Chain A
Amino acid sequence: MTELSRSAPQVSPKLGWLTSQTQLVLLVTLFALCLLISLAAPQFYSVDNIIAILRQSSLVLIVAVGMTMLLIAAEVDLSVGASLAFAGVVAMDVTNKTSSVTLGVMAGILFGGGVGLINGLIVTKLRINSLIATIAMMMMLQGSVYLYSREAVQNKHLQPLFTWLSTGYVGPLPLPVVVTAVLFAIGYVVLRHTTLGRYVYAVGANEKAARLSGIRPARIKMLVFIVTGLLTGLVGVILCSLMNAGQPTAGRGFELTVVAAVILGGTSLTGGRGTLLGTLLGVLILKVIDNGIIILRWDQDLQMVIPGFIIVIASYLDLLRKKSNAS
Chain B
Amino acid sequence: MKKFAITLLTATAIMAITASATWAQNMPKKIGYVTNYATHEWYQNVIKGMQDRAAQLGIEFEVRDANLDVAKEVAAAEDFMSQGVDVLIVTPVNEEGVVPLVRRAKEDGIPMVLEGNPVKGMTTMVAICDYDTGYHAGVAAGQYAKDHLGGAAKVMNVGLPLLSATVLRSNGFMDGLKTIIPDATMVHDLDGGGNPDRALEVSSAALAQNADINIIYGINDSSSQGGLQAWKAAGKSQDNLLVVGTGGEGLGFINMMDNEPSYQIEAAMFPEKVGFTAIDAAVKLFNKEEVPPHIVSPTSPMVGKDSWKQFYDLADNKRTIKWDAVNALVPADKCMKTAADL
Instruction: Determine whether A and B are in direct contact in the complex, meaning some CB atoms lie less than 8 angstroms apart.
Output: yes
Residue numbers of A with Cβ under 8 A of B are 41, 43-44, 46, 48-49, 51-53, 55-56, 146, 150-152, 154-156, 158, 163, 166-167, 169, 174, 239, 242-245, 247-252, 254, 290-291, 294-295, 297, 300-301
The answer to the question of B29 belonging to the interface, with a C-beta cut-off of 8 Å to chain A, is no
29 contacts between A and B (CB under 8 A): A43-B208, A43-B209, A43-B210, A46-B208, A48-B207, A49-B208, A52-B208, A52-B234, A55-B233, A56-B201, A56-B204, A146-B39, A150-B44, A151-B41, A152-B41, A154-B252, A154-B254, A156-B317, A166-B233, A243-B196, A245-B225, A247-B196, A247-B197, A249-B40, A290-B201, A291-B208, A294-B209, A295-B208, A300-B190
Q: How far is the CB of A173 from chain B (nearest CB, A)?
A: 12
When distances are taken between beta carbons in the complex, the residues of chain B under 8 Å from A252 are 195
The answer to the question of B299 belonging to the interface, with a C-beta cut-off of 8 Å to chain A, is no
Interface residues on B, range: 35 or more
**CA–CA, A92 to B243, complex, Å?**
23
When distances are taken between beta carbons in the complex, the residues of chain B under 8 Å from A248 are 39
Most buried by A among B197, B205, B254: B197
| B205-255 with Cβ < 8 A to chain A | 205-211, 222, 225-226, 229-230, 232-235, 250-252, 254-255
The answer to the question of B34 belonging to the interface, with a C-beta cut-off of 8 Å to chain A, is no
When distances are taken between beta carbons in the complex, the residues of chain B under 8 Å from A290 are 201, 205
User: When the two chains form their complex, are residues B233 and A300 in contact, meaning their CB atoms are under 8 A apart?
Assistant: no
User: When the two chains form their complex, are residues A245 and B255 in contact, meaning their CB atoms are under 8 A apart?
Assistant: yes
**CA–CA, A156 to B254, complex, Å?**
10
When distances are taken between beta carbons in the complex, the residues of chain B under 8 Å from A151 are 41, 44, 250-251
When distances are taken between beta carbons in the complex, the residues of chain B under 8 Å from A300 are 190-191, 202
| B184-200 with Cβ < 8 A to chain A | 188, 190-191, 195-197, 200
- Of A48, A152, A167, A294, the residue contacting B252 (CB under 8 A) is A152
Beyond A242-B200, A243-B226, A249-B195, whether A155 also contacts B39 by CB under 8 A is no
User: When the two chains form their complex, are residues A55 and B204 in contact, meaning their CB atoms are under 8 A apart?
Assistant: yes
**CA–CA, A290 to B207, complex, Å?**
14
**CA–CA, A46 to B236, complex, Å?**
14
* CB nearest neighbor in A for B208: A49
**CA–CA, A154 to B209, complex, Å?**
29
* CB nearest neighbor in B for A291: B205
User: When the two chains form their complex, are residues A251 and B229 in contact, meaning their CB atoms are under 8 A apart?
Assistant: no
User: When the two chains form their complex, are residues A242 and B229 in contact, meaning their CB atoms are under 8 A apart?
Assistant: yes
- Of A49, A150, A158, the residue contacting B209 (CB under 8 A) is A49
The answer to the question of B26 belonging to the interface, with a C-beta cut-off of 8 Å to chain A, is no
When distances are taken between beta carbons in the complex, the residues of chain B under 8 Å from A44 are 209
**CA–CA, A295 to B201, complex, Å?**
12
The answer to the question of B20 belonging to the interface, with a C-beta cut-off of 8 Å to chain A, is no
3 closest A-B pairs by beta carbon, nearest first, are A49-B208, A52-B204, A294-B205
User: When the two chains form their complex, are residues B205 and A295 in contact, meaning their CB atoms are under 8 A apart?
Assistant: yes
User: When the two chains form their complex, are residues A295 and B209 in contact, meaning their CB atoms are under 8 A apart?
Assistant: yes
The answer to the question of B82 belonging to the interface, with a C-beta cut-off of 8 Å to chain A, is no
The answer to the question of B259 belonging to the interface, with a C-beta cut-off of 8 Å to chain A, is yes
* CB nearest neighbor in B for A46: B208
User: When the two chains form their complex, are residues A297 and B188 in contact, meaning their CB atoms are under 8 A apart?
Assistant: yes
Q: How far is the CB of A239 from chain B (nearest CB, A)?
A: 6
| 6 extra interface residue pairs, beta carbon distance < 8 Å, beyond A44-B209, A242-B229, A243-B229 | A51-B234, A154-B255, A244-B229, A249-B222, A294-B188, A295-B208
Q: How far is the CB of B232 from chain A (nearest CB, A)?
A: 6
**CA–CA, A151 to B250, complex, Å?**
7
